[in-house]
Chains A and B, each alone.
Chain A
Amino acid sequence: MVTNPPQRKRIISDQEAENISRVEELAYEIKVREVMTSDLISFSPEIKMQEVLEVFRQKRISGAPIVSPLGDLIGIISMEDLIRCLVDMDVDSTINKYMTTKLITILPTDPVIEASKKFVSTNFGRLPVVDKDQKLVGMITKGDINRGLLRALETDYQEEEIRKYRASHLFEDIESDRTSLILRYQIQQGDFDIGGQASSNIKRALIRLGASKQIARRCGIAIYEAEMNLIIHTTEGGVLRVEIEPHQISIDAYDYGPGIKDVDLAMKPGYSTASDAVREMGFGAGMGLVNISRCVDQMKLESVWGKGSRLKMRLFLDSDHKNNESENQKS
């Protein structure tokens, strides 16, 4: 039957994956060998069509290869050929008369996308898989490809689950007086197209580490606003630094300029220095810092005009720190 696919170790970054779907990708990664059927029902060239009919019915198959006593592939017989034979009421003639000998074959080492292309261009339902010596090693159908892709997607899903499981045990597995995981991201000024990518990665990391949906959401929103601030307001971008510990998440967003002239004014809801272009993108309404403060348990903004700014945020993960707006410290 079908052999187990080898483990695919290739890790694809978000950027690489930008323009291709996972299924398309798998169609290039998976080889014909991994999805083909290799224990074949085959016929010898001298048998009668009556026997083909019986075998098709009993084994519930719709096509089979015809192989010479030496194992060479001679032809293919399909349901369509059988129907032609039945219409002619000619089941006593040999398979030779009805089999297709115009053969399109594929190599076991070809990616399944090649098989898909051949299915489309030839309209055939099955392709014989032959090795370099032209010996038949298997057959592949569209159904085999679909099953193979589904299985691979499932494996991907399981791998994500395992990754999540391993990550969530990270802190338990490592012994120290104080363990923390630090993630750092460089944020480029003005790079709106990939704006939010760091936040997206951080949110995914938190979920993998076993954070609750609420924590991941609050953290994601706060960091996203901070990331957009770095993109919109700084002279040369800045850094997002996230330190994850079992009991808290500390986030630092800092930049090297231009700094904020009046921090109190910047904290005021609705106050913004953003340009019209930024506003057209749905930002710059002076709500960013307000939003951040609602999502985190502690927040501190320091800035020196001409030097830069540093926004420190903290979320507590202990159960007695369940974030409610009312629990936020009042200024």
Chain B
Amino acid sequence: MNLGDLVKIVEGKVLTDLFDKNEIVLGGCGADLMSDVLASIEPGAVLLTGLCNPQVIRTAQMADVAAVVLVRGKIPPETTIDLANDEEIPLITSPFGMFELCGRLYKAGLPSLEKSVADQSDFGFE
């Protein structure tokens, strides 16, 4: 799915200046907890979130997120939009809720790119 199709499906509004509608989105991930995103999202996914602060963009940048969709019609603060422009992360706002957005995109054939964090005790340190 490319970003142009995605924006149509979510009936979204693009908030960033730079937007390439041909950019490919490999899958999706929905979360409000940034640590969960960092732990579970795979590269190239669209991130659906209700969180609007600049840390969403930082998280997206660190985790190689393809685009961020803000749910429930949220409009982020200027600082978030500015950072998204700087870091070239497409930022979109959609009037739909998280549940409906996940449903719409999944139905349109977008797979989940959210890994399980169930094995969270399985980590090691020196």
Contacts and interface: CB of A to CB of B under 8 A. Distances in A.
15 contacts: A19-B82, A192-B55, A196-B61, A200-B58, A200-B62, A203-B62, A224-B62, A228-B55, A283-B33, A287-B38, A287-B120, A290-B123, A299-B125, A325-B123, A328-B122
A199 B83 CA distance: 14
Interface string B69-107: 000000000010010011100000000000000000000
Interface size class of A (residues with CB under 8 A): 35 or more
A195 B125 CA distance: 26
A249 to B, nearest CB: 15
Given A224-B38, A291-B38, A301 B125 contact: yes
A300 interface: yes
Contacts of B35: 225, 282-283, 285, 287-288, 291
A196 B43 CA distance: 19
Nearest to B43: A217
B39 A294 contact: yes
B126 interface: yes
Contacts of B38: 221, 224-225, 287, 291
A281 B62 contact: no
Contacts of B123: 290, 293-294, 325, 328, 331
A298 interface: yes
Which of A288, A291, A330 has its CB near the most chain B CB atoms (within 10 A)? A291
B79 A193 contact: yes
A5 interface: no
A196 B62 contact: yes
Interface string A195-235: 11101100100000000010001001100110010000000
A269 B120 contact: yes
A196 B120 contact: no
Nearest to A287: B35
B119 interface: yes
A330 B124 contact: yes
Which of B58, B121, B123 has its CB near the most chain A CB atoms (within 10 A)? B123
Interface size class of B (residues with CB under 8 A): 35 or more
Interface string B21-48: 0000000000011111011000100000
A221 B42 CA distance: 12
A288 B43 CA distance: 19
B49 to A, nearest CB: 8
A325 B119 contact: yes
Given A193-B79, A195-B58, A200-B61, A331 B32 contact: no
Interface in A277-331: 281-283, 285, 287-288, 290-291, 293-294, 298-301, 325, 328-331
B2 interface: no
Given A196-B58, A200-B62, A203-B61, 14 more contacts: A21-B17, A220-B61, A220-B62, A269-B120, A282-B33, A282-B35, A282-B51, A282-B55, A287-B35, A287-B38, A290-B120, A291-B35, A299-B126, A325-B122
A130 interface: no
Nearest to B57: A196
A287 B36 contact: yes
A14 interface: yes
Nearest to A314: B126
B15 interface: no
A217 B64 contact: yes
A300 B125 contact: yes
B59 interface: yes
Contacts of B87: 200
Nearest to A195: B55
Contacts of A199: 58, 62
B56 interface: yes
B1 interface: no
A120 interface: no
A228 B34 CA distance: 11
A267 interface: yes
Contacts of B61: 196, 200, 203, 220
A87 interface: no
